[in-house]
Homo-oligomer: A and B are copies of this chain.
Amino acid sequence: MTTDCLHCPLRTRPAFEKMTDAEVSFMRGFKVGELVVEPRMTILMQGSKSPQLFTTLSGWGIRHTLLPDGGRQVINFVMPGDLIGLQAGLLGEMQHSVESVSRMTLCVFSRDNLWDMFKNMPQRAYDMTWLAAREEHFLGDLLATVGRRTAMQRVSWGLITYFTRVEMLDLLEGDVVPMPYKQRDLADAFGLSLVHTNKTIAKLREQGIIELGNGKLAIHDKPTLAALANADTESRVKRPLL
């Protein structure tokens, strides 16, 4: 029992651009199935040649790189509406792994149909490239954070950025958003040790700026957190959904 694109629960959310009827019907054909994965499973493996791409229908995941010596760098957090596997689809091989954090439901697309899309539905192809460019933008921001910010700035920046992304998905309740990620995940994203991440979070908590725990993140004092982050405010534009 899979979700028909016609009744896609994501499509109508404010974060996403409107889709034309032609696009929706194309996507119905593009979608070859649905995949449900349990928490902490590997969806795509670094180095693998997956024949499939996915769009996250529900749930939370992580994209990360594994270094030869066992180190782990989180590349991005995966949320509903996010496309994954573009690298495998285009380059032929994943350069990082994708794992589920919560239970996830994924729309499955076949790599073989990608070229069809470029040929027959250029609007969708354009959207896909748009998403790739946006992904690159995110990565650049994270790189600047990890390369040039202090621990306090990294954590502040990371939490604000995360908060804003989730907020746009309409998952905000008061000043609280879901936070399924563990401190281990955050540390690996910010390029910090687990211990130091924990201590930095503790400082923010003591000052009453945030609350974090039990699968929730609350930001009580956003202006202060933003100031600590040494960041410009993100522009919020609608994005296409694939």
- On A, residues with C-beta under 8 Å from B are 65, 67-69, 71-73, 75, 86-87, 89-91, 93, 95-96, 114-115, 118-119, 122-123, 125-126, 128-130, 132-137, 139-144, 146-149, 188, 190-191, 230-232, 235, 237
Contacts and interface: CB of A to CB of B under 8 A. Distances in A.
A216 B127 CA distance: 41
A75 B140 contact: yes
Contacts of A231: 67-68
Nearest to A120: B122
A149 to B, nearest CB: 7
A143 B133 contact: no
A198 to B, nearest CB: 17
Nearest to A90: B133
B139 A136 contact: yes
A133 B146 CA distance: 21
Copies of this protein in the complex: 2
A73 B118 contact: no
Contacts of A71: 144, 148-149
Contact of A90 (B72, B129, B230): B129
Contacts of A91: 130, 133-134, 137, 237
Nearest to A135: B136
B149 A67 contact: yes
Nearest to A95: B137
A75 B143 contact: yes
Contacts of A125: 118, 122, 125-126, 129
A128 B129 contact: yes
A189 B15 CA distance: 33
Given A95-B140, A118-B129, 4 more contacts: A73-B148, A122-B125, A136-B139, A148-B191
Contacts of A69: 230
